[in-house]
Homo-oligomer: A and B are copies of this chain.
């Protein structure tokens, strides 16, 4: 599934509610879901589901800001490391 396709789908299902809730409360949802992801990582369970949730909420945030996520991702992560330009990355700091 294309990133743009998923972003459009999230807008179709949730944008009316995201608009009602607003930007800051949506960011709070992102933080809440990241907390659940941290718990999943700590316990070593349910990580996949929590990853899906965090990404979906970030897409909701992007829709509220009229940000094209696929475009932003390609801008920053074209085909090689954004810092050293290599693939695989050869930066010093891990």
- Complex Cα gap A74–B52 (Å): 9
* Shortest CB distance A87–B (Å): 5
Copies in the complex: 2
Q: How many of A's residues come within 8 Å of B, CB to CB?
A: 55
Chain B contacts for A31, CB-based, 8 A: 34, 38
**Knowing A17-B89, A52-B76 touch, does A1 contact B1 (C-beta < 8 A)?**
no
Q: Told that A47-B61, A55-B69 touch, could you supply 19 new A-B pairs with CB distance under 8 A?
A: A1-B3, A12-B88, A13-B87, A14-B88, A17-B91, A27-B38, A34-B34, A37-B58, A48-B62, A48-B65, A48-B75, A49-B75, A51-B61, A51-B72, A52-B69, A52-B76, A55-B58, A56-B73, A56-B77
